[in-house]
Amino acid sequence: MKRFLLVLLAIAVGHPVFAQLSAGAGYLKTHVSAERGSGSGEGFYAGLSYRIPLTGTFSLLPGLYFTRTEETAGEFILGDIVWDGGFSIEKALVVPLRLQWDIDLASDIRTFLYAGPSFQYGLQCSSPSGLSNVPARDLYDGDNGFAHKRWNVLAGAGGGLSFPSKSTQRFFIMTGCDYGFLNLFVDSYTKSNRFLWKAGIGIEF
């Protein structure tokens, strides 16, 4: 991991003039699919990315984003146990590493396509009790025997458009999706994966 970070740093230092910092935020729609059960929710994301040019049209974009989602799960059948998934709120940090391809259009408008993995670390995942004197249930601690995993690895792809605003700034709109490969539960009673769709806006400095 240290060697990988050093390689990224060396590439960034080698392109000090052309590398760009960008900030973005947007809407998230989630869907959890399981062998026997499903859930859905929505939320938002916000964070920063750093564009590292590789060639004239390709760039590497590592980033760091914060996400917050609220999900409502239906009835899950885990082994011989029927579990009411209920309502949950999750906050997480996401580190995407994307390869982006920029295509010039008319009047300095560009379209772009991207693909790459993201690595998610859960900060908090709780299920509110609905009572003021009863604390929310921490879903990472294995309460009721069904602990949620903090880590996930996702594969994503998407695209968008960017527009000039000033000589050194560009606005962009984008949409994309991510699919989580890891089972959401620590105990593998059933296979459960999360799919995310997102749409957002941002600015490159």
Looking at residue 112, what is its pLDDT?
97
Quickly count: other Cβ atoms within 10 Å of residue 55's Cβ. 7
Cα 49 to Cα 19, 63, 66, 129, 131: the distances in Å are 11, 4, 12, 36, 39
Per-10-residue mean pLDDT of the chain, 205 residues long, equals 48 52 96 76 96 92 96 66 71 96 88 97 82 66 69 96 82 96 73 90 93
Question: Distance between CA 153 and CA 147 in Å, rounded?
Answer: 17
Closest CA to 196 of 85, 107, 69, 75: 69
* Whole-prediction pTM: 0.80
Question: Distance between CA 41 and CA 9 in Å, rounded?
Answer: 36
Closest CA to 175 of 154, 202, 152: 202
Q: Which two tokens stand for residue 57?
A: 């049209």
Q: Which two tokens stand for residue 157?
A: 């792809």
Report the chain's C-alpha Rg in angstroms.
19
